[in-house]
Amino acid sequence: MAAHHRNITDTELSVLKALWELGEGSVRDVLGRLTPDRDWAYTTAQTLLNRLEAKGCVKSEKRGRAFVFQPVYTRDEILGRSLDDLASRISDGKAMPLLLNLVQSPKFSRAELQRFRKLLGELDEEES
């Protein structure tokens, strides 16, 4: 994966999220998905998509008169790589401090905690 994902700005991430929801889309399609609380110009969305393409996060293909953009990486791939980078920068590459911090957060539902316990059990069985 390109190292540029770390340089994704919050605004670019908004555009990438819209593209993830769509799967693929033109500038107009993406513009239609962006939050209405911000006054997005067509040229702004186009510039952000072009930046994301330059960073290797999206690709485009000309179809007729318009370019259609597609995400190169899934949300989970970007998230995983971003967490790896965060662990490298903050805790010398160790994921455990990040994981413990997340798990100790009171933001998990019962279902999420049960899923986490199940995953730990499966990992434990794999090691046996």
Residue corresponding to tokens 């994921």 = 95
pLDDT at 104: 79
* Same-domain check for residues 12 and 58: yes
Total residues belonging to the chain:
128
Q: Is 73 left (phi over 0), alpha (psi -120 to 50) or beta?
A: beta
Structural domains in the chain (count) = 2
pLDDT tens for each residue of 89-117: 888 888 888 878 877 777 888 898 889 88
Residue 32, domain extent: 3-71
Q: What is the pTM of this model?
A: 0.74
Give the orientation angle of helix 42-54 with respect to helix 10-22, to 10 degrees: 90
Percent of the chain with pLDDT over 90: 48
Whether 88 is in a domain gets the answer no
Residues 6+ apart with CB under 8 A from 3: none
Does 121 have pLDDT greater than 60? yes
* Same-domain check for residues 18 and 51: yes
Residues 6+ apart with CB under 8 A from 108: 116
pLDDT tens for each residue of 7-40: 788 899 999 999 999 999 999 999 999 877 778 8
